[in-house]
Amino acid sequence: MADLGASLQDHEPSDWLMIVDPRCFPSVGFDPGALLLDLEHSPRRARHLVALDAHPEGTAECVQLDPSGTVRRIQRYYDLATWVFASGVSCSLLPIACTLGGGDMPFGSLRELRRSLVDRGVPSHDVTLGGGAFDLSEEGGLLGLSERTVLGLFENRRASDDGWRVVGPGCQLHPSARLVGPVIIQQGVTIGPDAVIVGPAVLGEGVRIGRDAMVAQCVVGPGMVVAPGTTVRHRVLVAGAETAPPAPRPFYVPSPLPRNPAETMGGRSRSRGYPALKVAIDLFAAAAGLLLLSPFLVLTALLIRLESRGPIFFRDRREGRGGRVFECFKFRTMFVGADLMQRELLEKNQVDGPQFKLVSDPRVTHVGRLVRALSLDELPQLLNVLRLEMSLVGPRPSPFRENQLCIPWRDGRLSVRPGITGLWQICRHRRSQGDFHQWIQYDLLYVRHMSLLVDLRILVATVLTLGGQWPVPLARIIPHAGREALR
């Protein structure tokens, strides 16, 4: 690397240097175009294509201790939301001028180079890899990239024996050998009798697979030999490889929430037409509701405007399906600036968990008390239903700060659209205490058992109880789930 630093002295200060680190390989393929956008008209600064750090469960918990070792705080972080540290740099684009006189710069590691440039006062700009990256210095990362590449190659092929294999010239495949799934075999490979190759797999040039051997989802380097009767799974076999695989820690590769909540929550199978029918009912009911209730909505808006200054609607950022953030509409029932007073009133909070509630909240206006008593403050959320951000029935829409407190709860409730009303609103029987655990229980019960019949029962119960002013027994909504409720 000293030679590289010396060779840069021969370039003009106006030149640019691009360095690629193949160990941090973008999962969607390498494309440095994002670093080259508007290069001539932007300020001259270093640009880095970075992969974000990630964790196996998508979260990390950090514990803060005081000097005596007492726990002061436990904070949970979520990938892409509150955990924003880079784990690798795939490519760096540098003005040559920032490297002149820097013979000791760490060109062997783009992570160290990025840090060194910051220490030297060089302005920089990070571009995040949208699809994540594979750490090719880890066995798991190389296997992940191989699997994605092989599956991509066979994506448009016919799913048959011929369509799931690519065999190079000079290969000898015994007639009794079996190839299962997508397999790429380079030239000069020998596969012995009764051997089994399970894809996605890549066999390098000159590989020999012995009799009765099994190679499952592996990358086998050129010239490697798999002994007869040997079974190898999920490995990268190259000269000098360790006999035991290291624990991989790959860079972030997104894993979206399942489309069907039952995939996560273990619920029963539902009709394939239910999601589409639910959307159709939501759109029709929301449009009809806004039309029929328009006189009450206009009157409520007028009363709010006459009593206190400020907007008619309160807009709060909530997390919808898949964690997408949207603005949730409600009639404003408090004075302007009420949210800033919550910290002062926090010690008087009468409920548990992330909720905040006071029976006699000094921030609520006179009109707001009436609107809340009649459950009219939620009606503007019909606009969110028309925008397909919410549903008539579903888990209560919550902001990020509430959803982060329980991972299974967050994953389950964010697998469906939040609702104006839901199981928790009509079935909770500890309204004065709040009971955060009951909230979790009812949300997850709904995700497990959601169906058109359950939705209709919840809507009817919401109307009959004036928005859940008194509890409805769970057995009347989901008869077979009554034993799962908290006692």
> What CATH number corresponds to the domain at position 186?
2.160.10.10
99 and 146, same structural domain?
no
Tokens representing residue 68 in the block: 């005596």
pLDDT > 70: percent of the chain: 83
Q: How far is CA 456 from CA 302, 349, 431, 481, in A?
A: 32, 34, 23, 17
285 and 309, same structural domain?
yes
pLDDT in tens, 398-435: 888 788 777 778 888 899 999 999 998 898 876 555 57
Collapsing DSSP to helix, strand or coil, 92 comes out as strand
Rounded CA-CA distance 421/456 in Å is 11
As beta bridge partners, residue 398 has 319
**pLDDT recorded at residue 483:** 54
345 and 467, same structural domain?
yes
130 and 70, same structural domain?
yes
124 and 204, same structural domain?
no
344 and 217, same structural domain?
no
Domain count, the chain: 3
199 and 216, same structural domain?
yes
In one letter, which amino acid is 375? S
**pLDDT recorded at residue 434:** 56
Q: What are phi and psi of 182, to 5 degrees?
A: -70, 120
- Has residue 175 been placed in a domain? yes
- Confidence category of residue 330, pLDDT binned at 50, 70, 90: very high
Residue of 276, 272, 394, 271 whose CA lies nearest to 328: 394
As beta bridge partners, residue 50 has 89, 128
Structural domain that includes position 225: 139-237
- Has residue 245 been placed in a domain? no
Top pLDDT among 415 and 336 is at: 415
Q: Which residues contact 104 (CB under 8 A, 6 or more apart)?
A: 5
148 and 107, same structural domain?
no
Helix, strand, coil percentages, rounded to 5, for the chain: 35, 20, 45
**pLDDT recorded at residue 160:** 47
pLDDT in tens, 185-208: 999 999 999 999 998 999 999 999
- Confidence category of residue 468, pLDDT binned at 50, 70, 90: confident
Of 119, 135, 151, the position where a domain reaches its end is 135
In a 13 Å sphere around the CA of 248, the CA atoms on its Cβ side amount to 18
Of 95, 119, 135, the position where a domain reaches its end is 135
Asked whether 350 and 337 are in contact (CB, 8 A), the reply is no
Strand 165-167 relative to strand 183-185, pairing: parallel
- Has residue 379 been placed in a domain? yes
201 and 342, same structural domain?
no
Rounded CA-CA distance 140/138 in Å is 5
